[in-house]
Amino acid sequence: MNIKKIICYIIAFLFIAFPCFSLDSAIKNHAFNTPKNVSQNKYSLTHYLTKPYNDDYEKLKVIAYWISSHIAYDKYKYNNGVVNYKELNYKYDILKLRAGICGDFAELFADMARIAGVSRVKVVSGYVLKNQVSIKRKYRQRDVAGAIGHAWNEVQIDGRKFYVDTTFMARNTVTPQRRVTSLNHKFALNKNGRQNNVNENINDFFFDFTPKSEIKKHNMVHLQDKFIK
């Protein structure tokens, strides 16, 4: 039996034994190959992305895959805990410029979820704690040096609560050059939007995770403000 036949048999087995394998691949392909002409506003984009799907979970997944593969994290606006307040006040058209920070990612995901008819999705804020010491201290942020302020989404479907972090799913970044000015950065953002780059190397873990699963897998935890004493 030649190698091509072996590969075909393996793929066929995966499709039969693991239906989610084929579905997840189809959702990703649909998100990654979205035409640019439908992505100029969140309404036409959401309708295009979710049209093939009736299940709320699948709708959220295709939205998350599109955001995380098409939107870049803007390291000029917020970088390693340092806020560029001048840029923070600059109102993005995140779909036009294809860039933003965690709050922009989370707001876009929540807006598109509502457009898709998925109501129980909200933006939450807090910190990402990245070491076991901070976790053992019962998440007391005041005791933890270097906790990262962050925003992400809380989702409830069929009585189950989980989290989605499209910022952490994304791999693209817009990184300013040294001594960059605000005006130069705006030119860079416009260039980024025109290029419409798609990065398919997204981190699937951060779609549908819980603090418990995150501690186990990554030794860090997303913690909402309301849990920090």
Residue 202 has a pLDDT of 93
Cα 159 to Cα 32: distance, rounded to the nearest angstrom: 30
Partner residues linked to 74 by β-bridges: 174
Residue 15 has a pLDDT of 44
Q: What CATH number does the domain located at 3-227 have?
A: 3.10.620
Kindly state the average pLDDT of the residues 150-162.
94
Residue 198 has a pLDDT of 87
DSSP letter string, 151-205: EEEEEEETTEEEEE-HHHH---EE-PPTT--HHHHHHHHHHHHHHT-------GG
Q: What confidence tier does 108 reach under pLDDT thresholds 50, 70, 90? A: very high
Residue 88 has a pLDDT of 62
**Residue 166 CB partners (closer than 8 Å, separation 6+):** 64, 67, 68, 71, 105, 106, 108, 109, 152, 153, 206
Q: Which of 27-31, 60-64, 93-97, 98-102 has the lowest mean pLDDT?
A: 93-97
Kindly state the average pLDDT of the residues 123-145.
63
- Residue pLDDT, tens place only, 186-195: 777 777 767 7
pTM over 0.85: no
- Domain residue ranges of the chain, discontinuous segments joined by +: 3-227
- Residue pLDDT, tens place only, 34-64: 998 898 899 999 999 999 999 999 999 999 9
Cα 129 to Cα 41: distance, rounded to the nearest angstrom: 34
* Between 129 and 2, the higher pLDDT residue: 129
**Residue 148 CB partners (closer than 8 Å, separation 6+):** 81, 127, 128, 130
Cα 173 to Cα 74: distance, rounded to the nearest angstrom: 6
